[in-house]
């Protein structure tokens, strides 16, 4: 996505601090910026602006502002860069666990905004790719377990070998124009009803 097309939301209850991020982004060529200084209806602001990237500057955060920021990062699947004034290992760990892509301590300078944006987007994309791969792997493992159960049912009930049971499932899937796992799941559900 080009600089012109990237929609960025800057969240900071301090207008002066927000202007530092805003100036850094404008100097880097970003034009679609929304600055939110009222954090009462934060999720509504995010939904309304539908950003591609979020900068949150908490300054010296208290527990409530950290919790609100964590709620935001869990609720939206966007790259998020969070700025704070002081290092706090527990807050940093909780931020990363909640989905914050970049946790920046005492680093609010306009010349650093563009590299931080690039880092947050790259980390977000890498993390998203890993999550997708994990879900695909979990799904494939679940499908494999269902297929193995269905083969076991066919082997017991029909007295066939494992390969013959697999061939029966595969032929049935082809005949019904369905995925092998769908046919296997149907068979295991039906067998469960008959027990």
Cα distances from 71 to residues 46, 66, 94, 167, in angstroms, run: 12, 9, 11, 49
CATH number assigned to the domain comprising residue 61: 3.40.50.2300
- Containing structural domain, residue 182: 137-194
The pTM for the full model equals 0.67
Q: Using CA atoms, how far apart are residues 183 and 173, in angstroms rounded to an integer?
A: 6
Instruction: Tell me the per-residue pLDDT of 162-192, one tens digit each, with 9 for 90 and over.
Output: 999 999 999 999 999 999 999 999 999 998 8
CB atoms within 10 A of CB 58: 22
Q: Domain for residue 146, yes or no?
A: yes
Residue 108 confidence (pLDDT) above 50: yes
Instruction: Tell me the per-residue pLDDT of 16-71, one tens digit each, with 9 for 90 and over.
Output: 888 888 999 999 899 899 888 876 777 777 878 888 998 888 776 666 666 776 77
How confident is the model at residue 3, as a pLDDT? 58
Domain count, the chain: 2
């Amino acid at each position: 996505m080009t600089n012109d097309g990237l929609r960025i939301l800057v969240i900071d209850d301090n207008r002066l601090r927000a202007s530092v991020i805003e100036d850094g982004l404008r100097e880097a060529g970003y034009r679609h910026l929304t600055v939110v200084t009222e954090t009462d209806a934060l999720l509504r602001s995010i939904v309304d602006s539908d950003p591609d990237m979020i900068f949150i500057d908490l300054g010296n955060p208290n527990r409530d502002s950290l919790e609100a920021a964590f709620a935001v990062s869990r609720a939206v699947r966007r790259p998020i860069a969070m700025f704070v004034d002081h290092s706090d290992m527990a807050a940093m760990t909780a931020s990363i666990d909640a989905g914050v892509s970049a946790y920046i301590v005492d680093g609010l300078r306009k010349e650093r905004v563009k590299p931080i944006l690039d880092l947050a987007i790259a980390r977000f994309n890498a993390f998203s790719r890993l999550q997708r791969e994990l879900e695909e792997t979990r799904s494939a493992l679940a499908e494999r377990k269902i297929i193995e159960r269905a083969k076991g049912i066919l082997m017991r009930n029909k007295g066939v070998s494992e390969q013959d049971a697999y061939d029966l499932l595969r032929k049935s899937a082809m005949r019904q124009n369905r995925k092998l796992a769908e046919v296997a799941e149907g068979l295991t559900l039906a067998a469960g009803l008959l027990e």
